Structure 1
């Protein structure tokens, strides 16, 4: 068989919406079409958020299509000044085109969550048909797409009253891109109800033509009414703590309009309700805005307890003690939100921690000191949680104390022994290990420096593993012995809930990652299955931005070239002149001082930490892949694979 050639002709350039159809999972959830419909709903909600819409109607049609209609301003239908194509056509056919990128003062959608970016064009790409009707400036206009391409060009229909404005999008999702073509009604209902909560006074309706059912939501009390409904029947420890605060034009750090609105309740028992949103986008996986709320609540309660002398001797309050029994609904407004992944489940914007935390702490400080009795009840609840946590940790320590191997001398351990919150970083090199030791939170973070590259353990027998000092130290430090996929190892001795691989963001660092992942997959598979293994992602670049106007000097960290370009584009849009900032490239972790390492890589609120899990390959296929990549006698097969797949690699040479 001839070896496949890797030539200039091997490179394909995907144009238009083709990348979405090639890799739909990169752009949306593929379990069902709910997320591509949500992109259209988000656009309608953005109009309401901007103050121009009062109604959103979603209809499930008998033929399987879904329509979303709003009474906003209507998408512009004139020609784009540069592209000379109707703007409404660009919105649905071009990735990264839309109103949300206009961030200047008075921009159309400064606080958009979903408007005309990747989202709605993805909806078009994964639909067999899409019909768009726009009412604007006294006229009705219609545009039809088929399989992402224009099927019927934009045409003007009948004249309408000038006060009749809005957009209606009807989409027929293409079933071949989804595991199930059915939209889960409960999830859609929850999504629409939450939009009504976050947009007080806006009427949101769902109509199901198949069943004849219809529902309408409109909340006058906003977040508080929603949380009270969710906690119906639960006994509150103290009344709702609610508030909102947004930066004004004179704020030193944040842009005008950035801030948050929240409603928080504490209950003694029962389930807690927690929902968060960024610019009306639901973030079920939380993120930095939730971290800010947690830190703000904790800071205020801790200050109150210390001020009133409520803390018993030996009790140390932690954020989770205040947060454990808290239910909340949080709605943050962030000028340029950075999400984890296109489906926007988790907010990654570092500034959101200080944004939400600062506003929330100040408001709760005032509230607690104005309602001292409620403050004491809340402090007592947190203290009880802290005491229960301490008792639990002591029980674990007693169970583990007998027969523990002597811990490695180079392990810098943490103070806590509660595996639910402790973590160990396997750090490349002694230099980075020293910075990590000084920069970590010694309460729950341990550091184990590794010297050089770990042994390729793919073909090493289990009883020979401990001959290697690094592998011996890793096993003893984490408290779990090597085992096979069919074994049932004793995980009760696991000393850290998170085992984090921390290496340089270069080729050697990637090699060390691969060797450690090979070790865990081959000889500690139950830790991978249980979700205990993580890979830390340190940044490659730092941007030093000088003071501008009332904004102090800033340092921005970027994971890779793509983030660096995006950060520079954002600075230009903020009015910072080209060349005013300087770019530094980290050659390795050892170049970072302890504060930088904490901010970028160790701080749970702002770091990038990827969980390691099994992918879409079957166990047999995964084994075959590791054999080919890591087996000593597989160099010929590896070479052929590299020749075939080499164009997919992103190299940093």
Structure 2
């Protein structure tokens, strides 16, 4: 049956007005409506207060998470948003800032020397995505109030009674539940972000009041990012190889602050910021920092002939173990997207690189004992990298031809990496056997893992490469590992982690995630890594069968069918006891299964969590358990 084409002309073109575009496509402005997007609302308002502080107009910022856990207030003692009427629109400046996209005081250089929000959309976006927002402004001894809902004014600008001292702005908002699936804020996430802001803007007092947890924290760091570096090193339990950090600071029109220390860690950890905004994806300023460090060290090594015979030093060797904070302030930042995750200013590269290179060369020359320790650390890294490369090559040579490189226990699929092929990495031989029998052989490959997976967070690279299970995973994927990873050689479209639905299975999944995050992060960034959700319970009610992934899911199903026939509940001991057909119907069948895509919303938080939960220091895990002991109503053992 053919369908006549619909007309397509001018009346089909929709022009969204006011803040409608924000409500229609919130992801364009805040990155998504998940947890990261929800908290981005707070960052937008906080950034406005920080802008006042950066330009010398405010000294205190207070953020309050109210008792409902869904309402946040951000106040500062800055100049206060103007309330006089705009000559063109005849609306108050306050209403324009909160209801008109690209309306703000940051387009003209006289108002703000540097700023995190130059697009003029932050406050209006928050207003558009809030079911209620109230702005209170203190200016000229008078207090003003105006209320909004979903981007529209619900009250006129009101002049409140009484004489007020001081100036400032307070924004109180509650996210719109029709936009966000979950509107409850995470107090710890807010606290960490605010503490970071206090490090980046030394001398600014930042107070966080959490009415849910009934806590109050005040952050004030006169030493700025130097204090921040010490905190990061302590959190990561890293042992430094030199006592005093390298610090470079310029307070000209384009302000640059850098501090770093080399440690005994085997990875590099850089946290970068532009105008106080974290740039998790880096950018030109971070690339300039890395280039400056590498060039300074190379010049020092070459000048003093410090390279041992037979050792080749790479830029990875120089940066291994480096922990650094990079913070720059520029008048016209060019961010990649409204979420400001990456800086694109080309001039920032040269600005940071030249300054860091010159200052570090002088620092190394003036501190010979520090320089000796740093160079010894770099040479050791170069030798270790050469040893691990040799070990990796040895793993590859064991198989001979490309075909025989594949591990024998891999049950490959027919499609061989074309189309929608999938590799299931399965816990245990028995589960692997059920998966092999129940799978779609045309597009689903099965790789069973024997025994406990190696914790790669606390293992050396050589030990990792010597591990048989990890060798099998690397060989099966075919794309390499670490810096040499090439996605073009990946043999499967998706990699799916399949473990038991109990606590042991979750632990194994966490161990595998740690490996992929540390040594194959490109698979996560490219959206290739998934977690399968097998059932933990089978629930038979009358003639119907239901599958529950966990206890909460089980209780939900029982509540929905309360009053019917007595349910029969079976708890699976593991995937291995499932019949192949059951495993297919519940976990493998693409039309029925549930897959969790592995994504990283906050690289810094992810790194800290993995370091705490999987690192060598058990005290971090002890603190984690003790802080959450009251939340554990049932322990799966």
**TM-score band w.r.t. shorter chain:** 0.5 to 0.7
Counterpart in the other structure of 1:148 = 151
Counterpart in the other structure of 2:304 = 308
Counterpart in the other structure of 1:591 = none
Matched-pair contact (CA < 8 Å) for 2:208–2:217: yes
Once the two structures are TM-superposed, the CA of residue 290 in structure 1 deviates from its matched residue by: 1.9
Question: Alignment partner of 1:57: what SS?
Answer: strand
Query: CA 1:180–1:135 in structure 2 vs 1: closer, same or farther (change >3 Å)?
Result: same
Counterpart in the other structure of 2:33 = 30
The count of residues paired between Structure 1 and Structure 2 equals: 446
The aligned runs of 1:492-641 (5 Å cut-off) are 493-494=478-479, 497=484, 499=486, 524-526=492-494, 612-613=526-527
Question: Alignment partner of 2:348: what SS?
Answer: helix
Measure the CA separation in 2 of the matches of 1:307 and 1:71: 52
Matched, 1:196 2:198: yes
Question: Alignment partner of 1:132: what SS?
Answer: strand
Question: Alignment partner of 2:154: what SS?
Answer: strand
Measure the CA separation in 2 of the matches of 1:94 and 1:279: 24
Matched, 1:17 2:19: yes
Measure the CA separation in 2 of the matches of 1:165 and 1:128: 27
Matched, 1:240 2:208: no
Measure the CA separation in 2 of the matches of 1:176 and 1:302: 56
Once the two structures are TM-superposed, the CA of residue 360 in structure 1 deviates from its matched residue by: 1.1
Question: Alignment partner of 1:486: what SS?
Answer: strand
Once the two structures are TM-superposed, the CA of residue 354 in structure 1 deviates from its matched residue by: 1.8
Measure the CA separation in 1 of the matches of 2:338 and 2:126: 13
Matched-pair contact (CA < 8 Å) for 1:315–1:383: yes
Once the two structures are TM-superposed, the CA of residue 272 in structure 1 deviates from its matched residue by: 6.7
Scaled by the length of structure 2, the TM-score of the pair is 0.63
Query: CA 1:96–1:621 in structure 2 vs 1: closer, same or farther (change >3 Å)?
Result: farther
Once the two structures are TM-superposed, the CA of residue 376 in structure 1 deviates from its matched residue by: 1.4
Measure the CA separation in 1 of the matches of 2:6 and 2:170: 49
Counterpart in the other structure of 1:183 = 185
Once the two structures are TM-superposed, the CA of residue 13 in structure 1 deviates from its matched residue by: 1.2
Matched-pair contact (CA < 8 Å) for 2:61–2:75: yes
Matched-pair contact (CA < 8 Å) for 2:416–2:492: no
Counterpart in the other structure of 2:8 = 7
Matched-pair contact (CA < 8 Å) for 1:43–1:115: no
Question: Alignment partner of 2:157: what SS?
Answer: strand
Write the deviation string for residues 276-330 of structure 1: whole angstroms up to 9, x where unpaired: 2110011233333222221111111111111111101232322221222011222
Matched-pair contact (CA < 8 Å) for 2:29–2:339: yes
Counterpart in the other structure of 2:228 = 226
Query: CA 1:172–1:141 in structure 2 vs 1: closer, same or farther (change >3 Å)?
Result: same
Matched, 1:127 2:130: yes
Measure the CA separation in 2 of the matches of 1:464 and 1:364: 47
Query: CA 1:320–1:404 in structure 2 vs 1: closer, same or farther (change >3 Å)?
Result: same
Question: Alignment partner of 1:58: what SS?
Answer: strand
Write the deviation string for residues 565-586 of structure 1: whole angstroms up to 9, x where unpaired: xxxxxxxxxxxxxxxxxxxxxx
Query: CA 1:463–1:158 in structure 2 vs 1: closer, same or farther (change >3 Å)?
Result: closer
Unaligned runs of 5+ in 1: 249-256, 407-460, 466-481, 502-518, 530-608, 623-653
Question: Alignment partner of 1:27: what SS?
Answer: helix
Measure the CA separation in 1 of the matches of 2:168 and 2:477: 60
The aligned runs of 1:194-593 (5 Å cut-off) are 194-232=196-234, 234-246=238-250, 248=252, 257-269=253-265, 274-401=270-397, 462=415, 484-488=443-447, 490-491=475-476, 493-494=478-479, 497=484, 499=486, 524-526=492-494
Question: Alignment partner of 1:320: what SS?
Answer: helix
Write the deviation string for residues 180-204 of structure 1: whole angstroms up to 9, x where unpaired: 2111111101111011111111110
Once the two structures are TM-superposed, the CA of residue 179 in structure 1 deviates from its matched residue by: 3.2
Counterpart in the other structure of 1:60 = 65
Matched-pair contact (CA < 8 Å) for 2:267–2:320: no
Query: CA 1:487–1:180 in structure 2 vs 1: closer, same or farther (change >3 Å)?
Result: same
Matched, 1:109 2:112: yes
Counterpart in the other structure of 2:48 = 43
Measure the CA separation in 2 of the matches of 1:6 and 1:219: 63
Query: CA 1:224–1:292 in structure 2 vs 1: closer, same or farther (change >3 Å)?
Result: same
Once the two structures are TM-superposed, the CA of residue 4 in structure 1 deviates from its matched residue by: 5.0
Matched, 1:118 2:124: no
Query: CA 1:31–1:186 in structure 2 vs 1: closer, same or farther (change >3 Å)?
Result: same
Measure the CA separation in 2 of the matches of 1:234 and 1:109: 39
Write the deviation string for residues 491-537 of structure 1: whole angstroms up to 9, x where unpaired: 36435855478xxxxxxxxxxxxxxxxx98xx7314799xxxxxxxx
Measure the CA separation in 1 of the matches of 2:480 and 2:386: 16
Measure the CA separation in 2 of the matches of 1:614 and 1:21: 30
Matched-pair contact (CA < 8 Å) for 2:247–2:260: no
Measure the CA separation in 2 of the matches of 1:222 and 1:49: 13
Question: Alignment partner of 2:155: what SS?
Answer: strand
Once the two structures are TM-superposed, the CA of residue 359 in structure 1 deviates from its matched residue by: 1.1
Matched-pair contact (CA < 8 Å) for 1:46–1:115: no
Counterpart in the other structure of 2:571 = none
CA RMSD of aligned residues (A): 3.5
Matched, 1:138 2:148: no
Once the two structures are TM-superposed, the CA of residue 371 in structure 1 deviates from its matched residue by: 0.5
Matched-pair contact (CA < 8 Å) for 1:131–1:142: yes
Measure the CA separation in 2 of the matches of 1:343 and 1:196: 21
Matched, 1:80 2:86: yes
Query: CA 1:132–1:492 in structure 2 vs 1: closer, same or farther (change >3 Å)?
Result: closer
Matched-pair contact (CA < 8 Å) for 2:270–2:323: yes
Measure the CA separation in 1 of the matches of 2:256 and 2:385: 31
Measure the CA separation in 1 of the matches of 2:476 and 2:107: 49
Measure the CA separation in 1 of the matches of 2:401 and 2:349: 40
Unaligned runs of 5+ in 2: 403-413, 419-440, 448-472, 498-522, 533-588, 593-637
Once the two structures are TM-superposed, the CA of residue 159 in structure 1 deviates from its matched residue by: 5.4
Measure the CA separation in 2 of the matches of 1:321 and 1:204: 38
Counterpart in the other structure of 1:479 = none
Query: CA 1:242–1:109 in structure 2 vs 1: closer, same or farther (change >3 Å)?
Result: farther
Write the deviation string for residues 579-611 of structure 1: whole angstroms up to 9, x where unpaired: xxxxxxxxxxxxxxxxxxxxxxxxxxxxxx995
Once the two structures are TM-superposed, the CA of residue 70 in structure 1 deviates from its matched residue by: 0.1
Measure the CA separation in 2 of the matches of 1:245 and 1:109: 21
Once the two structures are TM-superposed, the CA of residue 149 in structure 1 deviates from its matched residue by: 0.2
Counterpart in the other structure of 1:432 = none
Once the two structures are TM-superposed, the CA of residue 260 in structure 1 deviates from its matched residue by: 1.4
Matched-pair contact (CA < 8 Å) for 1:240–1:264: no
